[in-house]
Amino acid sequence: MAIKFERVSFQYKGIDNKGYLALSDVNLQIDKEGEFITLIGETGSGKSTLAQHMNALIQPTEGRISLFGLKIDSTTKKKKKIKLNPIRKKVGLVFQFPEYQLFEETVEKDIMFGPKNFGMSTEDAKRKAEEMIEVVGLHKDYLSRSPFNLSGGEKKRVSIAGILAMEPDILILDEPTSGLDPLGRNALLEVFHRIHTTLNKTVIIITHDMNTVYQYAKRVLVMREGVLVYDGDPLKLFSRGNIDKWNLDVPDILSLTRDLETSFNITLSPPPRTRQDLFKALEEALS
Amino acid sequence: MKNVVIGRYIPGHSFLYHLDPRTKIMALLILMAAAFVVDDIMHLLIGLALVIGVLLIGKISIKRVYLGLRPLMFLLIFTFVFQVLFNRQGPVLYEETLYYSPITIGLVVLTVVFWGFTKKFIRFRLLYFLLMLFTILAILSLIQEPLTFRTGAFVVHEDGLRLAFFIMVRLIIIVTLSTILTITTKPTDLNLGLEQILKPLKLVRINAEEVAMIISISLRYIPTLLDEANKIMLAQASRGVDFEEGKLKEKVVQIVSLLVPMFIISFKRSDELANAMEARSFVPGQPRTRLHVLKWKLNDSIIIVFSLTILITTIMARVLI
């Protein structure tokens, strides 16, 4: 297991010293390879906090985490000997807002920043930057531009390229598609899917988009008020009754499938996850 | 970072919260003036006791104020040590001969190096720092041997000690008072209060409203910017920046990686704030009506009279004694 959470709780210290429990008693295991996980839940349910535990940016106030064999608990921060930095190369975390990380003069330098911090040579980092800018769907010309003159979506792509260039084993993305147009969103999701399938890397996506969850995820984690309330198959999740209670809704494809099933009186099995699958299944069922 | 109390409003209920902001600002100024007028240490201590009394009656946790003072601790200790060492006025309280020799100087250097290496592991760093100073003093005064090439004197003068203590208490009083103001007053109320108080400045062509707005927005954004800084640090740590380590060159890059996004975000924020204000028809300098109009109550008068009494008493005490 690459990532293992054992009874992990995390408390933010708030005003008046009243703690705010952002995570409570989370147990979780994530493999280094082959997982495509989406992490969903309302705003403020602890998704981002959970993600930040996964590359040791913050340490639990209770419980233990094991990250690639490195044990982390509430005392870790005080021990100077424990180096947390190498973990951040293994688990790449892309933050929600690219503004928090872009700072170099050119896009190229910014993408090179992460890899160079982890000891990659300048030439290699340059090559990585050229490779990754295209992976995220931007033209090579962008490399010489200033990251501050880009549109929101372009900034987002650059920040993702900056993490991809570090070649992490596990890739975590905090709402990677927010602020993107539908075409750009789908293209980017395909990129993550391709990284997952071709390199067999584990990808974790925090999202509010149920369609993403349904279409791509092999596994879904649902957070609610700091508690991990669901961990398992997306289809089972949406077939259960209490998704309303968790403020989730049914993915478009699934509700369409259900409508079609009732109006044509057919069953599409297994339930199609993409539009193409739906067309195919429908053709078969109706012919 | 979360411990910065200066400039942060903390919700609560006590008479301090219900006072008119104008009262609180004026009382703060009056009491600060009083703290500067006082020249007797006993009186200043009485003042400190009064301030603590206000904290207790106002139900403000002393711990919170202490946390706010902590960033200033270095300044406090520094002024204290400086005063004690270099003030040469008044009768001598304590005198000790210091012997400088290669051995004692070597030991002093060793002590400092040892302190530098071990301070990370000590919880009470300030105490540890004082302990180091004390050790250095002990080494220089106690080890006396033939290689001594020079002798010096460590002299504590009464004035030095008194003044050092004095400045420290005065600083504590002033910072605590201002912390009380910001803890108990919402930024909007503070703005309103400042504006009203600064109104007479119109005579010298200074627009009080704008000044008040600038001040209150700055105060309001201190905690927000700190939160932003924290987020940027996390984002950069994700990209392999280790803010706790690194050589000088790396440190520079680390700071740049923090400051550039900080600037960009601040500018963007102020731009958005300006737009949001204009969207609600804010025009600088235009007369505006208020949703909450300040009302002067009995309590306010009492507080002002009380503060003025203190100021007058201190002036009297200084003039008469």
Contacts of A92 in chain B (CB under 8 A): 238
Length, in residues, of chain A:
287
Facing A103 at nearest CB: one of B10, B238, B261 = B261
Facing A88 at nearest CB: one of B2, B120, B238 = B238
The parts of chain B modelled with pLDDT lower than 70 are: 1-7
Burial class (CB in 10 A: 0-12, 13-18, 19+), A122: exposed
d(CA A136, CA A149): 18
Task: Tell me the H-state helices in A91-151.
Answer: 107-117, 122-135
Q: What is the structure's pLDDT at A113?
A: 93
Tokens found for residue B246: 């690194």
∠ CA A148-A151-A155, nearest 5°, is 65
Query: Sign of torsion, CA A173 A246 A29 A251?
Result: negative
Residues B193-205 pLDDT 10s: 888 888 888 788 8
Count chain A–chain B contacts defined by CB atoms under 8 A.
66
Contact B238 A101 (CB under 8 A): yes
Query: Sign of torsion, CA B115 B116 B122 B123?
Result: positive
d(CA A135, CA A162): 11
Tell me the angle at which helices B187-198 and B21-37 cross, rounded to the nearest 10 degrees: 70
d(CA A134, CA A151): 17
Facing A114 at nearest CB: one of B120, B234, B240 = B240
Contact B239 A57 (CB under 8 A): no
Residue of B nearest to A161 (CA): B239
CB neighbourhood size of A185 (10 A) = 18
Closest-CA distance of chain A to residue B232, Å: 5
CB A39 within 8 A of CB A223: yes
pLDDT tens for the 287 residues of chain A, in order: 789 999 999 988 765 566 788 898 999 999 888 899 999 998 888 899 999 999 889 899 999 999 998 888 888 777 767 788 888 999 999 998 898 889 899 999 999 999 999 989 999 999 999 999 998 888 999 999 999 888 888 898 999 999 999 999 999 999 988 878 888 888 889 889 988 988 888 999 999 988 888 888 989 999 999 999 999 888 888 887 677 788 888 888 888 888 888 888 888 877 888 888 888 888 888 87
Q: What is the structure's pLDDT at A199?
A: 84
Is A104 in a helix, a strand, or coil?
Answer: coil
d(CA B268, CA B245): 30
